[in-house]
Amino acid sequence: MSSPPKKAPADIWSQTDIRDYLSESALTVGAGSPTDAGAGWMLPTPHPDPIIAAGGIPDAGSLPAREIQEALERVLSRAPDVALRYGGVLGFEDLRAILAERQSAMDGLALDQDNFILHNGGSGCLDNICRAFLTHGDVVITEGPAYSGTTRAIRGHMAELIEVAVDDDGLSISGVAAAIERANSEGKRVKFVYLNPDFQNPTGTTLSEERRLALIELCANHRILIVEDSTYSELFFDAPPPSSIYAMAGGAGVLRLGTFSKIIATGLRVGWVQASKEHIDALGRVRFDMGTSPLILHTLAEFIRSGSLDPHIERMRVIYAEKCATLSESLHEGCQPYVRFTKPGGGFFFWFECIGAPSKEVAAAAAEEGLLFPPGTTFFLDKENTPDTHVRLAFSNASLRHLAEIGPRLKAAFLKVVD
């Protein structure tokens, strides 16, 4: 018979340091950016009517809830057993076939369902891409600034990140070439370049056609994959972005990532990777979560088949164009001479330069005025030493009334902090 423990198990565990158990990844990665959570993020503000311009979430008043409910009801009344059981590692074939048809038309390529794997949002896609392609110490080149969820995921897979600047034409390709050279000279291997070329989060910029071609050539010459994040590509205002990098490269060496989060709703948690069959096979091999919810995938297939998706996207383009124009006018009329910006041609975000004060001080003063947004440093790898010059405003879910008030509230904030 074993002797009784000297201490109660609860006492033993309460005196044990959790860090002894954590993986290297859990020890390395910090908590997510508060803005990744979307609408819930708030700095404390005394204002009775705060304007939240923080998270990239769709317009709440336009969510197609009724159409989704009807699609779900049809799925459950027709074949509940199929939608309510395991669905396989690549995800529901019909939805993959629907995506293949849509994306083939968009990219001018002949894709089929085996060029697609479905995941838990674009985030799930990226996580699995990292699992399939990265090993400890590999290098990934990203935009600087970049969507903070991406950089967290890559760091979580123990890869090293090199940030390359973004200007009005998108990611600097000479910067990518220099980063490749630097990594190679240190004996490191660059596995992929991640970029969000259309209406980028956070800057709203779009990569020029010339740079797309240059990036394809550069990466092919160095045998480096391109991960093209097309989260906002369909949400243009007047004109679509240039052809995708995937289309320009004929699919060679490119994994294109898409999501229903911004074109429908973030709560669906469904995204896809479009890639060569070889790459899709690699992604399937390292997937251990038994797939994405078949019930939601069947519902989405039904929603799209019934013709609800394209008219919804068209309506959203008009709504976001009006929101963006309202914000632009408000900043232009209400907040000069403190902001400098280029109006984006699509997406959810406005990126502006703060004139005369650092963005962290502007963000704190704006919170007192009831205007909530993250400082631009949130989107850089080195949040402490990055020049504190810019701010991202998300206009997608703020009302037109609120967007029109942003300029004057921001000006009041600047007046408190400018030298």
Ligand X SMILES: Cc1ncc(COP(=O)(O)O)c(C=O)c1O
Which listed range, 118-126, 180-188, 218-226, 279-287, lies at the site for ligand X (CB under 6 A)?
Answer: 118-126
Strand, helix or coil at 22?
coil
Rounded Cα distance between 44 and 64, Å, is 32
Q: Which of 87, 149, 344, 370 binds ligand X (CB under 6 A)?
A: 149
Which listed range, 154-162, 246-254, 259-267, 327-335, lies at the site for ligand X (CB under 6 A)?
Answer: 259-267
Is 143 a binding residue for ligand X by CB under 6 A? The answer is no
CA distances from 110 to 105, 228, 258, 259, 415 (A): 8, 19, 17, 20, 56
Is 33 a binding residue for ligand X by CB under 6 A? The answer is no
In 203-332, where do the E strands start and end?
Answer: 225-229, 254-259, 271-274
Q: Which residue shows structure tokens 């480096």?
A: 224
Rounded Cα distance between 402 and 224, Å, is 44
In the complex with ligand X, which residue's Cβ is closer, 196 or 330?
A: 196
Q: Which of 107, 143, 228, 229 binds ligand X (CB under 6 A)?
A: 229
Q: Which of 113, 231, 274, 308 binds ligand X (CB under 6 A)?
A: 231
Rounded Cα distance between 153 and 119, Å, is 15
Closest CB 103 distance from ligand X, rounded Å: 16
Rounded Cα distance between 371 and 339, Å, is 15
Q: Which residue shows structure tokens 């019930």?
A: 295
Is 122 a binding residue for ligand X by CB under 6 A? The answer is yes
Q: Whats the size of the chain, residue-wise?
A: 419
Nearest residue to ligand X, scored by beta-carbon proximity: 121
Query: Please, which of residues 34-63 interact with ligand X by CB under 6 A?
Result: 56
Closest CB 231 distance from ligand X, rounded Å: 4
The alpha carbon of 99 is separated from its chain's Cα centroid by a whole number of angstroms, namely 19
Is 259 a binding residue for ligand X by CB under 6 A? The answer is yes
Rounded Cα distance between 185 and 299, Å, is 50
In the complex with ligand X, which residue's Cβ is closer, 256 or 411?
A: 256
Is 266 a binding residue for ligand X by CB under 6 A? The answer is yes
Q: Which of 33, 128, 203, 261 binds ligand X (CB under 6 A)?
A: 261
Is 123 a binding residue for ligand X by CB under 6 A? The answer is yes
Q: Which of 103, 115, 128, 201 binds ligand X (CB under 6 A)?
A: 201
Q: By the 8 A CB rule, do 283 and 355 touch? A: no
Is 271 a binding residue for ligand X by CB under 6 A? The answer is yes
- Count other C-beta atoms under 10 Å from residue 213's C-beta: 15
The token pair that represents 112 in the structure block? 């089929």
Is 344 a binding residue for ligand X by CB under 6 A? The answer is no
The alpha carbon of 187 is separated from its chain's Cα centroid by a whole number of angstroms, namely 30
Is 236 a binding residue for ligand X by CB under 6 A? The answer is no
Peptide bond into 145 cis (omega under 30): yes
In the complex with ligand X, which residue's Cβ is closer, 312 or 409?
A: 312
Q: How many residues touch ligand X (CB under 6 A)?
A: 14
Rounded Cα distance between 413 and 370, Å, is 10
Closest CB 239 distance from ligand X, rounded Å: 20
Is 196 a binding residue for ligand X by CB under 6 A? The answer is yes
Chain residues in the site for ligand X (CB under 6 A): 56, 121-123, 147, 149, 196, 201, 229, 231, 259, 261, 266, 271
